[in-house]
Structure 1
Amino acid sequence: MQERIETKQVPHEGDRLLLIDRREPGVVVMTMNRAATRNSLSLAMIDALHLSFLQLAREEDVHAIVLAADGPVFCAGHDLKELTARRADADKGLAFFQHTMTRCSTMMQSIVACPKPVIAAVQGTATAAGCQLVATCDLAVAAKEANFCTPGVNIGLFCSTPMVALSRNVSRKHAMEMLLLGEMVPAQKAAEYGLVNAVASKADVLETALGLARKIADKSPATVAVGKRAFYEQIEMGLADAYQYASKVMTENMMARDAAEGINAFLEKRKPEWKGR
């Protein structure tokens, strides 16, 4: 039987915000569980995601994370009802808006900083900060029926924070098209843009994402962690600095036990035995 572990955050409106399933060795499925509100990123959901990513990052037996969602919508972005309600505050919501955006940005960065690759299993529409969430994950699989959108421009609120992740995953022209037009982009076009890695039937989205997670979990967790960190570090550097940094990382990686084991196993035509160091 699958082990289901509820996160320790205080439930929102009586619901469990996240369900965490340890389905098989090394692989965890984290499911957003607010279908009634289209899995919107309320402050409670943001904090639940953030704390869960921090927790899973520390667990040695977790090698890959699949981020899924319940219901027809993957994530509708920020909870606009929650934000609008705070306009009644003395400062017209300014402090709460700042706090929410900062917390959300911190959560997104915790995905990038997590040494375990995070794979989005997008079964439905992902808009605004929901699209940002998909772009922030290391890999993404989308259902054929899924759509992606940064529609803030349509309601007078440009998707500035989603822009950060979006512009780092798709070409400038495609990012600007999505941001300026605010129109829905179907899954297949999102794959052509580079926003998602693969498109599958809705029934197969989770299994396809799990297939990627299994392949990752079968590799040295130490090597994967080194590689993920190095990827995001070097991509922000100039060419010369990136090569200097990557050469240093690769030299240090060569000295690791798993690198020696992996090379020897390849030469001896056998399966390597990883120790995670």
Structure 2
Amino acid sequence: MTAAAEPLVKKYSENGITTLTLNQPERRNSLSMAMLEALSAELDLVADDSETRVVVLAASGQVFCAGHDLREVREQFDSHEFQLALFNQCSKVMQQIVNLPRPVIARVAGVATAAGCQLVASCDLAVSADTARFATPGVNIGLFCSTPMVALSRNVSRKHAMEMLLTGELIGALKAEKIGLVNRVVDEQVLDETVYTMARTIAGKSGYTLKVGKEAFYKQLEMPLADAYEFTSKVMAENMQANDAQEGICAFLEKRKPEWKDS
């Protein structure tokens, strides 16, 4: 009997933290159409899972994600329809991460290039091993990283984004931290400890509050200053009516631990 094939995306949940692991190391965890569809399906499940409070996005093997599967792309050179479907599917996944009502932390070990770098930039937070490297190298092969540019340019300054996009050069983890692509850089030996300590800290908050805050964060980013303040004032006033906000304020004043109801 043939052993069952390993899933393209492995899922493990414990204590409110769900880890989704890209699981095709022999293909450098590339974002083939199949990988994108598998990741999209898992993100849909997590979005509806009330037990999940935080998501960790990880990868098997020595490469976090090498971007799109160039072998697959080459096989479909003559199909504009496939190319458009591939990039649309990738864009859908990146937006699923941003729109997910749970914070997403990228756990980055190894190389994250092109759409793999886009994946890191799309996550809410990113913790990197000090040996990790990042690049948007499409320009080196005649295919500008236009979709990765969307996430990259919303995380780092214009000049840093343009330098990565125009040179295609790899940057180290410390520079990625300096320009805002990742939050923290740590020794690979303590990468998991750092990631899951952060995840547990966030998982201890009100799930309702995290959902409200994440959604408002991304919405206000695209607004003019006055509109952003008007919008977030309404969000806070509405948030104040929630059970968890009132419980949290009372718990703080009464010097006790809050009991969240996620509502």
TM over 0.5: yes
Q: TM-score range, shorter-chain basis?
A: over 0.9
Instruction: Quote how far apart the aligned CAs of 1:207 are.
Output: 2.2
| Aligned residues between the structures | 260
Within 5 Å, which residues of 2 pair with 1:151-170? 151-170=137-156
Name the counterpart of 2:258: 272
Letter paired with 2:166 = L
Tell me how far apart the structure 2 counterparts of residues 43 and 85 of structure 1 sit (CA, whole Å). 13
Name the counterpart of 1:191: 177
**Deviation string, structure 1 residues 99-149 (Cα, Å, up to 9, x no partner):** 000011001100011010000000110000000000000000001100000
Which SS does the other structure have where 1:77 is aligned?
coil
Which SS does the other structure have where 1:115 is aligned?
coil
Name the counterpart of 2:46: 56
Tell me how far apart the structure 2 counterparts of residues 83 and 156 of structure 1 sit (CA, whole Å). 13
Instruction: Quote how far apart the aligned CAs of 1:201 are.
Output: 1.3
1:95 paired residue among 75, 81, 86: 81
1:137 paired residue among 123, 128, 132: 123
The answer to whether structure 1 residue 34 and structure 2 residue 29 are counterparts is: no
Tell me how far apart the structure 2 counterparts of residues 14 and 273 of structure 1 sit (CA, whole Å). 42
**Deviation string, structure 1 residues 72-121 (Cα, Å, up to 9, x no partner):** 0000000010011012xxxx120000000001100110001101000000
The answer to whether structure 1 residue 21 and structure 2 residue 12 are counterparts is: yes
Which SS does the other structure have where 2:116 is aligned?
helix
The answer to whether structure 1 residue 70 and structure 2 residue 60 are counterparts is: yes
Contact kept in structure 2, 1:68 and 1:206, CA below 8 Å: no
More divergent stretch after superposition (195-204 vs 125-134): 195-204
Query: TM-score if structure 1 supplies the norm length?
Result: 0.92
Tell me how far apart the structure 2 counterparts of residues 105 and 245 of structure 1 sit (CA, whole Å). 26
1:125 paired residue among 100, 111, 121: 111
Instruction: Quote how far apart the aligned CAs of 1:203 are.
Output: 2.2
Which SS does the other structure have where 2:64 is aligned?
strand
**Root-mean-square deviation over aligned CA pairs:** 1.0
Tell me how far apart the structure 1 counterparts of residues 250 and 188 of structure 2 sit (CA, whole Å). 41
Percent of paired sites with the same residue: 57
Q: Structure 2: where are the runs of 5+ without partners? A: none
Q: Structure 1: where are the runs of 5+ without partners? A: 1-12
Instruction: Quote how far apart the aligned CAs of 1:206 are.
Output: 2.2
